[in-house]
Copies of this chain bind each other. A is one copy, B any other.
């Protein structure tokens, strides 16, 4: 069984289903087809929409409906030269499989699929099962969220298992009480109409880079505090109990974070602990700056345009729309008179608070204890799963947000990996979860 499960995972990992790169559209489609074929063979009723797989098996009338979320798209693998083995040739070393998407999210998705396949081999799952799977998670696509909102009435779901996260430390599973939201923008600055020679125009030309660096430097102070007016106004402090329980976790230890990142010092707001900064504080990061000359050698160009990719991780109760409006007006005070600029929204996801006092979470606790030998701790999630809001609000599903990854699995980094032991225990977790929910 483990060998067959491994092969099912590797097969999916071999497909470079990079949703951010249009040239990989066929690969994203191939990955979807592979998942669809597996579900169809089990007898699931399947509905497809662009970027969406909706599949249900309602063979247990009177039993609860367990929803399972996952995504088959992955992040781009660059920088390629830092991979020890090719990102789309899954390779096993020391009990880990290395590949882009190994942990995020193919490994966790396939663990769920294998659990359900295993249940069918033994007479069918003890609960009804609904898969809601997407191919646009890594680009903040709206297809699945919009599908869920539009079709909520015919997608009844009692519990929604969202397995896209990780243990807070080896041996310590987590149940997530909140996910950060995301506001991802491109800031494009235009100076002169054409590229200019700095020898002829340096001193009078409005260089969009010079303006852009003032704009970006004006978004965050050196202490890590975001300077967009009103940015923190709606921030809801975590409860005292949350903060106390977090302080006992090894996850936020400075030495661990420094070692994982390979960094010489932490940055960010020093009046909050590292774990509070990751789980409960909003942040802002520049991801890339485009324009001008970045080849080898030198070119003394004053370019016409420069563009920055910037995102903000948001926490309850920040509203991305309000923050976007404040960002735009703040940037207009920072831009220099010689340039114009445009802010384009790439994606926008509201932060989510998940309740943890329902039978689904109790069932998940027991399933974790059985499969992994330890109870999960309550934690938050620094990342975002855009659809989680719709799953909770439109479906009214009780959320079970968790994950089988380990903190140093390199999600979004070169040499991303997934422990095969975690994978196999993850399959067992979902098998147990179904039985626990059926028994309730």
Q: What residues of chain A have their CB less than 8 Å away from a CB belonging to chain B?
A: 19-22, 75-76, 78-79, 82, 138-140, 180, 182, 184, 191-207, 209-210, 213-214, 216-218, 220, 222, 224, 257, 261-269, 274, 277-278, 281, 283, 285-304, 306-307, 309, 311, 313, 336-340, 346-347, 381-384, 407, 410-414
Q: In the bound complex, do residue A182 and residue B300 qualify as a contact, i.e. CB atoms below 8 Å apart?
A: yes
Question: CB within 8 A of A264: which of B138, B210, B340?
Answer: B340
- Residues of B near A414 (CB, < 8 A) are 194-195
With A76-B293, A217-B214, A382-B202 as given contacts, are A287 and B263 in contact (CB-CB < 8 Å)? no
Closest beta carbon of chain B to A380's beta carbon, Å: 11
By the criterion CB–CB under 8 Å, are B285 and A294 in contact?
Answer: no
A206: B residues at CB distance < 8 A: 263-267
Q: Which residue of chain B has its CB nearest to the CB of A278?
A: B203
What is the minimal beta-carbon distance from A392 to any residue of chain B, in angstroms? 18
Q: How far is the CA of A262 from the CA of B204 in the complex (A)?
A: 12
Q: By the criterion CB–CB under 8 Å, are A289 and B209 in contact?
A: yes
Contacts of A261 in B (CB 8 A): 192-194, 196, 201, 204-205
In the complex formed, the residue of B with least CB distance to A216 is B213
With A203-B269, A263-B193, A278-B203 as known contacts, state yes or no: A198 contacts B300, CB within 8 Å: no
Q: Pick the residue among B213, B306, B338, B413 that contacts A196 (CB under 8 A).
A: B413
Residues in B with CB closer than 8 Å to A216 are 209-210, 213, 217
Asked if A75 contacts B210 (CB within 8 A), the reply is no
Closest CB in chain B relative to A369 CB, distance in Å: 26
From A223, which residue of chain B is reached at the shortest CB distance?
A: B336
Q: In the assembled complex, which residues on chain B have CB atoms less than 8 Å from the CB atom of A290? A: 294
CA distance A296 to B21 in the complex (A): 7
Which residues of the other chain, B, contact A412 by a CB distance below 8 angstroms?
195-197, 200, 299-301
Indicate if the CB atoms of B298 and A267 lie closer than 8 Å.
Answer: no
Min Cβ gap A164→B in Å is 10
Q: How many copies does the complex hold?
A: 2
| Alpha-carbon distance A268/B309, docked complex (angstroms) | 26
A292 near B289 with CB under 8 A, answer yes
Complex Cα distance, B79 from A147, in Å, reads 40
Interface CB pairs A-B, < 8 A, 12: A20-B299, A76-B293, A184-B298, A200-B382, A206-B266, A210-B267, A210-B285, A265-B338, A285-B300, A286-B292, A288-B291, A289-B294
- Least CB distance from A325 to B in Å reads 20
Other than A205-B263, A287-B293, give 16 A-B pairs with Cβ distance below 8 A.
A20-B298, A21-B295, A78-B293, A196-B261, A196-B412, A201-B257, A202-B283, A204-B278, A205-B285, A207-B267, A209-B289, A210-B216, A264-B340, A289-B291, A292-B309, A300-B412
- Compute how far the CA of A244 lies from the CA of B412 in the bound complex, rounded to whole angstroms: 60
Q: A263-B192, A412-B195 are in contact. Are A299 and B278 (CB under 8 A)?
A: no
CB < 8 Å neighbour of A283 from B180, B198, B264, B301: B198
